[in-house]
A and B are shown apart, each in its own frame.
Chain A
Amino acid sequence: MDLTAFLIQVLNGVQYGFLLFLVASGLTLIFGIMGIINLAHGAFFMIGAYLAYSLTALVGNFFVAVLLGVFVMVAVGYLIERFAISFLYRRDHLYQVLLTYGLILVFNELQKIIWGTDFHSVPVPALLAGSVPLGSTQSYPIYRFFISLVCLAIAAGMYLVIARTRLGMMIRAGAWDREVVQTLGINIGRLFAIVFSLGAALAAFAGMIGAPVSSVYPGMGDQVLIISFVVVVIGGIGSVKGAFIGAMLIGLGDTFGKVLVPNLASFVVYALMAAVLLWRPQGLFGRGT
């Protein structure tokens, strides 16, 4: 592999990592702060992609559609937290797993009823439709760079909110010790509702922003869910920084795995996970027990 090819592959890996981070960050928030294993995260991702498809067709502008879609998903996330998940905080994890698994079935069925089983796609917005030549044969779509920028902005935004704001302080405190936070007079129920809505909206946002380079089809969230869990586990449960580093590791690992050891490509990310867990069982940035 010459230097140009190597750099292009690095770019591919980082790019994929950004996408993974976007999905995994919402999962790690919900997982780490609320202790909820949200299996429906992939379903939110899928619904996001379908919303991008429908709303773009409806309003004629991709960016407006994404904005609308985020509001819809915040509302959906809020309702799900209030009317389903909030009853299960005191129960065993198994109940939460059952509930969120049930949500997958509900969303899959809803998707079939509303959108049917055909394949759809979302056009790349005209503003970002071009591409940049890279090496002698390949070129890189501008939209992919745009996705990376958006992911960077989201990562920076999340960092600022969590490290610098009052809400962020409450989120961090809630993740650390729920009871103490409650005795300090913070409404933990409302905090959880906000976190869950944000997490759901992040997953859906990832589905929406990725829709123009992906395709929109039933069950598209399943694979995303698994790889997101890998990212979260590598990074350390509840750590947004960990999710970022984990996503980059997986993005690069998967890319170079495919090129260098094609026969083992599907194992590379899991081998990476196993290696990290052997070294640090709590994940890269997880709190030790």
Chain B
Amino acid sequence: MTATIFDPISRRTLLGTGAAAAGLATAGSIVPFRLAIGAQAKVRIGILLPYSGTYAMLGNAITDGLKLRLAEAGGKLGGREVEFVIVDSQMSVPKAPQNTQKLIAKEKVDFLVGPVHSGIAAAMAKIVGRAGNPIMIVPNAGSNAVTGPLCAPNIFRTSFSNWQPAYPGGKVMADDGHKTAVTIAWKYGAGIQMMAAGTSSFEKAGGKVVKDIQVPFPSVEFQANLSEIASLKPDAVFAFFSGGGAVKFVKDYAAAGLKEKIPLYGPGFLTEGVSMAQGAAAEGIKTTLHYADNLDNAANKAFRAGYKKMYGKEANVFSVQGYDTGSLLLIAMDAVKGDSGAKKAMIAAMEKAKIASPRGDISFSAAHNVVQDIYLRKVVKGHQNLMGVVAKQLVDPARGCRLT
């Protein structure tokens, strides 16, 4: 891990490396615009992701995916070397504005990649959207607001909106013949928005949510709630938890003997990247998400093989999101031949981008949110196996966005 956490890199060192690279660059045909005015030669990508705490796995998977994509393309963006400025978000919403400001004003990054947490996403989007600079790519956080009321020309999202994977999930539950359901999720942006989306499609299809249980974030003591579910006896349960909370919830749910009696559904984060730790408790759980391990397309096969070779472990949806963030960066910088000052041209190219992603074909909506297929998956021996497509090229409604 290159942990360049705001080391006091002096202007001199930067200029030094800049001059050296300029010597090399003149040999080629591309002379980056920014270099001509004596700024930096390397493309600077600021990364604000969690590398400690509950969501550390997500931060690492995204970074690994991004680096794999850039390595495949020769390690360069638009012909220029890449330099990462990596900051650990520590999942702290209060620190988010300061970290964002530092990356923009002090580190003068050309691109900003992050975050994982919806709350941090909103804080970042406010600052970056207002400043109009740099171009920000969200590789995970699903906060509907980022491509809703907070949407901006320089903000893109390669991951999902909270609405996207959850909305088709409610219908799946109804299609399986369930009439009543209990929803349970952590009480914060992602949980609330996903439960609302799942509930609306479930009730539209004739179901009825009898109770919405909100668990304080990030509490993992579920016993009281499980007893409550047992006494309510719904046909099904629709849940959102992620990371360590997902492991514990799914295990507790099975241990309480509920798994066989009341089937568990939810957005794919319930089992994604954690099904190995959940073991038998996760077997057979059906979830909806924009990725499945065994998607049958060339990009996915190459991606999974490459990822395993480079990092020695299996890829998951988070690494796919990082990988596609890399693809979008390549499209932007190729379109302007490395001139990272040409923001408008880059944004135009990103808006038109069509990427053959490991998750299938993706593009971007008017609000700059990813347009993608949502799959139904089932956990089989710890893998997220494809059962079918539940929504083709699903576009987030982007309520409140002025770009649409």
Q: Do the two chains bind? A: yes
- Give A residues with C-beta under 8 Å from B: 1-2, 4-5, 8-9, 12-13, 15-16, 108, 112, 117-121, 123, 131, 133, 135-141, 143-144, 213-220, 222-223, 254-256, 258-259, 262-263, 265-266
B227's partner among A9, A131, A223 (CB-CB below 8 A) is: A9
Task: List 29 A–B pairs whose Cβ atoms lie within 8 Å, in order of A's numbering.
Answer: A5-B228, A8-B231, A9-B224, A12-B227, A119-B57, A119-B274, A121-B247, A121-B279, A136-B230, A137-B231, A137-B258, A137-B261, A138-B231, A138-B256, A139-B257, A213-B248, A213-B252, A213-B255, A217-B247, A218-B53, A219-B56, A223-B220, A254-B221, A254-B224, A259-B224, A259-B227, A259-B228, A262-B214, A266-B219
Residues B54 and A217 in contact, CB atoms below 8 Å apart: yes
Q: Are A215 and B248 within 8 A (Cβ)?
A: yes
Shortest Cβ distance from B279 into A: residue: A121
CB contacts (< 8 Å) of B277 on chain A: these are 118-121, 215-216
Q: Is B34 an interface residue (CB 8 A)?
A: no
- CB < 8 Å A-B pair total: 127
- Pick the residue among A13, A135, A139, A263 that contacts B231 (CB under 8 A): A135
Q: Among B52, B214, B255, point to the contact of A141 (Cβ < 8 A).
A: B255
Apart from A5-B227, A117-B59, list 13 A-B contacts with CB within 8 A.
A8-B227, A12-B223, A12-B224, A117-B51, A121-B279, A138-B226, A139-B257, A213-B251, A214-B248, A215-B248, A220-B244, A223-B218, A223-B219
Chain B contacts of A140 at CB under 8 A?
256
Who on chain B is nearest to A121 by CB?
Answer: B277
A103 to chain B, nearest CB (A): 15
**In contact, A219 and B53 (Cβ under 8 angstroms):** yes
**B237-284 residues at the A interface, CB under 8 angstroms:** 243-244, 247-248, 251-252, 255-258, 261-262, 273-274, 277-279
Say yes or no: A214 contacts B220, CB within 8 Å. yes
Give every chain B residue within 8 A of A123 (Cβ-Cβ).
Answer: 279
Residue contact B53 to A16, C-beta cutoff 8 Å: no
- In the complex, the answer to whether B231 meets A217 with C-beta atoms within 8 Å is no
Q: Is the CB of A131 within 8 A of B224?
A: no
- Minimal beta-carbon separation of A147 from chain B (angstroms): 12
Contact of A135 among B223, B230, B278 (CB under 8 A): B230
Top 3 closest pairs, chain A to chain B, by CB: A139-B257, A215-B247, A266-B216
With contacts A16-B221, A215-B251, A217-B247 known, is A265 near B274, CB below 8 A?
Answer: no
A137 partner residues in chain B, CB cutoff 8 A:
230-231, 233, 257-258, 261-262
Complex interface residues of chain B between 272 and 328 (CB less than 8 A to chain A): 273-274, 277-279, 313
**Chain B neighbourhood of A215, CB < 8 A:** 220, 244, 247-248, 251, 274, 277
Smallest Cβ distance from A12 to chain B, in angstroms?
A: 4
Chain B, range 197-238, C-beta contacts under 8 Å to A: 213-216, 218-221, 223-228, 230-231, 233
A47–B279 CA distance with the chains assembled, in angstroms: 22
Q: Which residues of B contact A (CB under 8 A)?
A: 51-54, 56-57, 59-60, 187, 213-216, 218-221, 223-228, 230-231, 233, 243-244, 247-248, 251-252, 255-258, 261-262, 273-274, 277-279, 313
The smallest C-beta distance from A146 to any residue of chain B, in angstroms, reads: 13
Of all chain A residues, the one with the shortest Cβ separation from B91 is A219
Given the complex, which residues of B lie within 8 Å of A4, measured CB to CB? 231
Q: Judging by beta carbons under 8 Å apart, are B231 and A5 in contact?
A: yes
Cβ-defined contact, B221 with A131, below 8 A = no
Q: Which residues on the A side are within 8 Å of B187 (C-beta)?
A: 266
Please indicate the chain A residues that have their CB under 8 angstroms from the CB of B262 in the complex: 137
Report chain A residues within 8 Å CB of B228.
5, 258-259
Find out whether the CB atom of A265 lies under 8 angstroms from the CB atom of B216: yes
A139 to B221, CA, bound (A): 17
- Of B60, B214, B231, B233, most buried by chain A (CB within 10 Å of CB) is B231
**Is the Cβ of B231 less than 8 Å from the Cβ of A16?**
no
Instruction: Give the complex CA separation of A285 and B256 in angstroms.
Output: 36
**Contact residues in B for A136 (Cβ distance below 8 Å):** 230, 233
Residues of chain A contacted by B213 (CB below 8 angstroms): 262
Whether A218 contacts B231 in the complex (CB less than 8 A), given A117-B57, A141-B255, comes out as no
Q: Are B224 and A255 in contact (CB under 8 A)?
A: yes
| Cβ–Cβ contact A16 & B223, under 8 A | yes
Residues of A within 8 A of B273 (CB): 119
Complex-state Cα separation, A262 to B219, whole angstroms: 13
- A112 touching B220 in the complex, CB below 8 Å, given contacts A120-B277, A139-B256: no
Find chain A residues with CB under 8 A from B226 CB: 138
A8 to B256, CA, bound (A): 12
Residue on B nearest A8 in the bound complex, by CB: B227
* CA A255 to CA B216, docked complex, whole Å: 12
**Cβ contacts under 8 Å, A117 to chain B:** 51, 56-57, 59-60
Decide yes or no: A131 and B230 within 8 Å by CB, A112-B56, A217-B54 being known contacts: no
Question: CB-CB < 8 A to B244: which residues of A?
Answer: 119, 215, 217, 220
